[in-house]
Amino acid sequence: MKKMMNLAKLEKTGVIAVVRGATKEEAIKASEALIAGGVTGIELTFTVPQADETIKELVESYQDQPDVIIGAGTVLDATTARLAIMAGAEFVVSPYFDVETAKICNLYQIPYLPGCMTITEMKEALKYGADIIKLFPGSAFGPSIVKAFKAPLPQLNIMPTGGVSLANMEEWFEAGVVAVGVGGNLLAPAAMGDFAAVTEMAKQYMDKFHSIKG
């Protein structure tokens, strides 16, 4: 039940922000700025210092806002996945498919979104219960690849990450993806400490998403 609710939240939010940061403080401020702009799906990467503590703080801060969903990104192994889940992560994203990570996520009923580039990887991920496949890097393909992957595997739920922008977001959704992961394009101002610009950018992405979904 918990897993289904989290998957529904991910699909509803549509735009998942990939949050990196040189410090824990920067990552928290960036996440707050995104949520203020309406981007309620946050993938906090484990490249952020003290990532598990950061996830815990964010989960606690937004526990009264049911639309907000906080997950962990750049999860390289099952140990890190468990650390993230114990901190309150509601979904787990990795740059590649890992069997042990899939098993730990299934054990705790947490959606697992592994990065895949080939039909073989995608098939393997599905076998181990991956709910959404992160097409990574999306910039290596473009939206037209989605139909090609879904032809033999129509049950695939795809989320492209890398190379998704305001300009091509509509093409991705028209191709049949369930959500998009956005990092650099959305968060560039955060590195300069301009969090107001992050909020503004988040609003533009959400306005675009809502206009696509009508």
Residue of 3, 9, 134, 208 marked active site = 134
For residue 135 the two structure tokens come to: 């097409």
Tell me the C-alpha to C-alpha distance, in Å, between residue 172 and each of 124, 135, 154. Answer: 23, 11, 16
Active site residue 43: yes
Active site residue 56: no
Instruction: Identify the three-state secondary structure at position 159.
Output: strand
Instruction: Identify the three-state secondary structure at position 204.
Output: helix
Residue of 3, 9, 26, 43 marked active site = 43
b/e 189-202 (16+ beta carbons within 10 angstroms → b): bbeeeebebbbebb
What's the CA gap between 69 and 92, in Å, rounded?
A: 11
What's the CA gap between 115 and 26, in Å, rounded?
A: 25
Residues with Cβ < 8 Å from 94, sequence gap 6 or more?
73, 74, 75, 76, 81, 101, 112, 113, 114, 115, 134
Q: Which residues are known to be catalytic?
A: 43, 134
